[in-house]
Amino acid sequence: MYVMRHLAVIFSVGCLMLPTAIFANERGEWDELLTPSMPYSMSWEHTEREQTHHESEQTVEDQLIRVEQEILILKAELAYQNSEHNELNNYIHQLNSMGILPRFKERVARLNIFLTQNKNTLSDTGTMIESYLTVTGIQPLQFPRGGGGDSTIAVLLPLTGTYEQVGNQILEGLTDALTSADFVGTLVVLDTALYANAFEVWQLAKAYEPDFIFGPLRKTIANQWQSLSTGIPTFYFNEMRFLNGHERALSPSKVKGVEVLMRFLEAESYQNILVLTDNHAASEKLESAFYSLWHTSEHTGTYQQQHIDKTVGEAVEIASNREHSKARQLWLQSLVDVNLFFKPRVRKDIDVVISFLSERNAIQVTAILDFYGFSDIPRVWYPVQVPRVSFFKKNLSSLHASYAVLPAYVQPNLSFFAQEKDAFSGENNQFGLFYALGQVAVKIVNNSAISDGLELYIETEFGAIRSSSVGQFYLLPMMYWVNQNETEVLSKINLETR
């Protein structure tokens, strides 16, 4: 067991800027910091005289806004003096998003000129400007491996509000995984739900000088954080539109998971496929993604999609060609004018039946296929939503002896159920999706062969991982064989070497 040296959980609703009370009482310190290296004199006294006349008429809120903008401008001016151009850009971006007060427009305009001049200079000399518009190639991920030592990891997640359960499950997965990896550095945890935007979070986070960052999870905050160009290696729990070289991202993907299904089909050499879909919104999306993958692969067989408009039975009957057999019987009977003994024939060229169906329709498939003479044909269920443990408990007989594509964390949940542990509620965080994301994130960043690899497909205890060429990772579902009345309700089908 390792000893976590520091765990700082910070829930603060105060101002994240430099302490306003100190600045308000120490005006001379501002002048000492800012005036010597400004390119030309800025008249602070003139600004102060203009403000004095109106101050008595301002509300407390107006005064707070003025102070906040003054602090941001002073920080921007200090960033300019120190040639911190990314910081300067961030401060100006934050000021623009607030709506600049008339008294500050001249100072902000000057800073904008400085920023523009600097960008032009760097562009002329061929130096790349690191900004939120820059897309760079993947670079080695600098994660504090080997215990961390004096390293600091910041976890920026929403831990209260709408995302409370999600954020806390990821946090639990992260901390457990870091414990297993013997991390002994400093862990700083910030609740991003307490702040209005990523800029405010950054103002607090950078005080801890983190070496690595996990988060943010909320899409808007993730995009804002990326635009800050902090330069700190960051691991997002999002599907990002693009990633800079020092960034990685992880998200679950049911659509990307059709690759697992395709690997299974190829391993079993199934060629002729019958696909069942229904009216659920995700059904068509999954089928479309699967067909695209099947179409681009080397298959010589047939692909038939049958949509369930009314009932599963009707759809299977149409797909089986029973009606064609009946039509042939009626034609022959009319031709010979004799009553014929007849048993409808069904097609024999289907290798496997794949169902992108909701729970209600999925439990009917096995019985209907058996009824129409397809009892020997393998069937695979790819749920449009993750099925509940209670659903399996009630319907195992309907799913027995079939395959299912499910998230890996469903298996231990069902193992509890199979062992008749009545105290198990099915909501254990340790086996949830977001706990798994936290665990897999540490597994990725702690192994350079994974984090720096391109177009990888590997299997972990929490599911398969697929990576893109820019550092986006997807956690995929897994293929299982459904066993009724056995301790291991789901038997994993290993596709890693297939």
pLDDT(37) > 70: no
Question: Which residues share a beta bridge with 458?
Answer: 465
Mean pLDDT of 285-293: 93
Query: Do 436 and 410 meet the contact criterion of CB atoms below 8 Å apart?
Result: no
CA–CA distance, 427 with 22 (Å, rounded to integer): 48
Ordered structural domains, the chain, with CATH: 6-11+138-250 (3.40.50.2300), 35-124 (no CATH), 258-492 (3.40.50.2300)
Q: What is the pLDDT of residue 117?
A: 62
Tokens of 7: 């765990």
Strand order of the β-sheet with 303-307 is: 303-307, 273-277, 352-356, 379-381, 403-406, 478-482, 490-492
Strand order of the β-sheet with 212-214 is: 6-10, 186-191, 152-157, 212-214, 234-236, 247-252, 472-476, 463-467, 457-460
**Which DSSP letter does residue 429 get?**
G
Q: What is the pLDDT of residue 11?
A: 39
Tokens of 54: 């109106």
Cis-peptide into 216, omega within 30 deg: yes
Q: What is the pLDDT of residue 89?
A: 76
Listed in order, strand segments (DSSP E) in 377-433 are: 379-381, 403-406
Residue pLDDT, tens place only, 292-344: 999 888 778 899 999 998 899 989 888 887 655 555 555 455 666 656 555 55
Residue pLDDT, tens place only, 423-449: 334 444 445 889 999 999 999 999 998
Continuous segment of H or E residues that includes residue 371: helix 359-371
Name the nearest CA neighbour of 399 among 409, 410, 290, 426. Answer: 410
Instruction: Give residue for tokens 């231990």.
Output: 412
The values of phi and psi at residue 217, to 5°, are 95, -55
Residue pLDDT, tens place only, 224-252: 898 888 889 999 999 998 898 899 999 99
Residue pLDDT, tens place only, 57-108: 457 777 778 777 888 888 777 777 776 777 777 777 777 777 788 878 878 8
Mean pLDDT of 397-416: 82
Q: Hey, what amino acid is at 493?
A: I
pLDDT band at 475 (very low <50, low <70, confident <90, very high): very high
